[in-house]
Amino acid sequence: MLRSPSSLLLIAIIASVRPLHAQGSSVHQLSWMAGCWRQSNPASGRTIDEQWMAPMGRTMLGMARTVRGDSTIEFEHLQILERGGHAIFHAEPSGQAPADFEARSVSDSLVTFENPAHDFPQRVIYRRKGRDSLIARIEGTRNGRVRGVDFPYARAACPE
């Protein structure tokens, strides 16, 4: 069957258009966060583990726990999901109300989530440093003072 040049062009355009899920979502851009991460402080006896599942279904699931000695002193259920075309960081820390932070910038090594209405923090930032290092940072204003806390993590073996 012969096709006209205009119909061939239309077929080529349709074939090149992919749905958003095939192109990759804003959540998929954060696949560099996937894995297990650890921060240990022998002086305080404190260890923080944070784990992120790889993006699937426009969602990354995560969890974190802080252990001192043989006791879990904090934990957090985490989720990065896509809402309205934006990556949303949803945190449910132990003993606190859940909070959502919207991604303001996303790249292959840095993401900044913000919620100006939240008490503290107002920003949650993840930065990849090389293949085996991740720095999580919370920052914002508390009691009229600008504060920030860094959580430098090294890649760790994931539990079996």
Closest CA to 81 of 121, 25, 23, 122: 25
Picking from 17-26, 135-144, 147-156, which range would have the lowest pLDDT averaged per residue?
17-26
Strand partners, 149: 138
50 in a structural domain: yes
User: Do residues 41 and 158 make contact, with C-beta atoms less than 8 angstroms apart?
Assistant: no
Closest CA to 67 of 90, 88, 94: 94
State residue 19's pLDDT score: 34
Any domain includes 128: yes
Domain that holds residue 62: 28-156
Residue 149 falls within a domain, yes or no? yes
* pLDDT-based confidence at residue 76 (cuts at 50, 70, 90): very high
Q: Which of 5, 18, 32 is nearest to 111 (CA)?
A: 32
Structural domain total, the chain: 1
What's the pLDDT tens digit per position in 116-144?
Answer: 999 999 999 999 999 999 999 999 999 99
Q: pLDDT by residue (tens digit) across 80-112?
A: 999 999 999 999 999 999 999 999 999 999 999
- Asked if the model's pLDDT at residue 7 lies above 60, the reply is no
Q: Is residue 95 part of a domain?
A: yes
Residue 24 pLDDT grade (very low, low, confident, very high; cuts 50, 70, 90):
low
User: Any idea what the CATH number is for the domain that residue 103 is in?
Assistant: 2.40.128.20
7 lies in some domain: no
Phi, psi of 8 (to 5 degrees): -65, -40
Residue 12 lies in a domain: no
> Which of 67, 64, 79, 73 has its CA nearest to residue 41?
67
Whether residue 21 is contained in a domain is answered as: no
Residue 2 included in any domain: no
Name the more confident of 145 and 8: 145
Share of the chain above pLDDT 70, in %: 85
103 phi/psi in degrees, rounded to 5: -65, 130
Beta strand segments in the chain, E: 35-41, 46-52, 59-68, 71-83, 86-93, 99-106, 110-114, 123-128, 133-142, 145-156
Residue 18 vs residue 31, higher pLDDT: 31
